[in-house]
Amino acid sequence: MTTNPEADNKPTYEAILTSVDGDVATITINRPKALNALNSTVMEEVITAAEGYDRDPAIGAIVLTGGEKAFAAGADIKQMKDETYPEIAAKRMFLEWERLAELRTPLITAVSGYALGGGCEVAMLGDILLASETAVFGQPEINLGIIPGMGGTQRLTRAVGKYKAMDLILTGRNMDAEEAERSGLVSRVLPAENFAEEVAKIARTVAGKSQVATAAASAMVDAAYETTLRQGVRTERETFWSLFATQDQKEGMDAFANKRKPEWQNR
């Protein structure tokens, strides 16, 4: 990644494309020759771009997507094949991907084609996971003599349950979009012909909500994976109460009572 002085220091990326349409930002992983294999450049650039959009109050949703043939076919095997245990432990390989789970702005991952290994794991970092009919999911690491290393054993298991997760992770087989939706891995399967358009529509819907409410909602759904039911319900209630300290709660309810559209202040 370099910066382009002629464009207000806007970063110029090597392995991703970025664009903004209204209040929706899109990050596209762009290493088509390597089926979007997730090397360290992709990781750094995706995180830099996503965190930049997360800090921008004009952005209400971030879409992370890939190409038609591959969202991402996994971590870059060629880049990591000669690594040693002390080296990857010292650099805490893949830890940084978890930063996507900390974004306040809703992250929508949109998968066409292969989402394998790290690709499936990055897709699972989304708040909403959208799949084209062409999507193929899998955790084939077992075929390389390793296991998933970006959260796959944990997030896939929480999404699809022990037995489907074990099946995928121990056999290394792929599953299609239909099976992924049936298993609870994806939010929706969308037609391949106008996938980008349908994804954008959903992203605009989310971006059009109050940002304080979307941030609170996604934090609370995530909490369901991290805490007990009793503690989660308690925290949800407190978060719910806290939203009554926001202008958007007053605006949303006043707009409803007066049969008009709310105008969110995002505070």
Indicate which single residue of 108, 148, 169, 207 sits in contact with ligand CAA (rule: CB under 6 A): 148
Contact between 6 and 17 under an 8 Å Cβ cutoff? The reply is no
Alpha-carbon dihedral angle through residues 59, 62, 68, 71, given to the nearest 10 degrees: 150
User: Is residue 45 annotated as a catalytic residue, yes or no?
Assistant: no
Query: Quick one: which H or E segment has residue 3?
Result: strand 2-4
Residue 134 C-beta: closest distance to ligand CAA, Å: 13
Stretch that binds ligand CAA, among 59-67, 148-156, 158-166, 248-256 (CB under 6 A): 148-156
Going residue by residue from 76 to 105, which x/- string records binding to ligand CAA, judged by CB under 6 A? xxx---------------x-----------
- Candidates 46, 48, 12; CA nearest to 29 is 46
Pure H helices in 97-228: 118-123, 152-160, 162-171, 177-183, 195-207, 211-223
Residues 107, 74: Cα–Cα separation, whole Å = 19
Residue 155 C-beta: closest distance to ligand CAA, Å: 11
Phi, psi (degrees; rounded to nearest 5) at 209: -90, 175
Stretch that binds ligand CAA, among 29-37, 161-169, 202-210, 218-226 (CB under 6 A): 29-37
- Candidates 162, 154, 160, 163; CA nearest to 180 is 160
Catalytic residue among 118, 126, 149, 252: 118
Stretch that binds ligand CAA, among 57-65, 110-118, 196-204, 251-259 (CB under 6 A): 110-118
**Taking the CA of residue 15 as centre, how many other CA atoms within 13 Å lie in the half-sphere pointing to its CB?**
21
Phi/psi class of residue 142: alpha, beta or left (left: φ > 0; alpha: ψ in -120 to 50)? alpha
Using DSSP's 3-state secondary structure scheme, residue 136 falls into strand
Q: Is residue 149 at the binding interface for ligand CAA, with CB under 6 A as the rule?
A: yes
Query: Quick one: which H or E segment has residue 128?
Result: strand 128-132
Q: Is residue 75 at the binding interface for ligand CAA, with CB under 6 A as the rule?
A: yes
Indicate which single residue of 135, 150, 190, 199 sits in contact with ligand CAA (rule: CB under 6 A): 150
Q: Which of 107/116 has CB closer to ligand CAA?
A: 116
Stretch that binds ligand CAA, among 52-60, 104-112, 142-150, 256-264 (CB under 6 A): 142-150
Indicate which single residue of 16, 24, 29, 37 sits in contact with ligand CAA (rule: CB under 6 A): 37
Residue with tokens 């800090």: 55
Q: Is residue 35 at the binding interface for ligand CAA, with CB under 6 A as the rule?
A: yes
Residue 138 pairs in a beta bridge with 116, 174
Indicate which single residue of 60, 66, 106, 117 sits in contact with ligand CAA (rule: CB under 6 A): 117
The residues annotated with a catalytic role in the active site are 75, 118, 121, 141
- Interface ranges with ligand CAA (CB under 6 A): 34-35, 37, 73-78, 94, 114, 116-118, 121, 140-141, 144, 148-150, 152
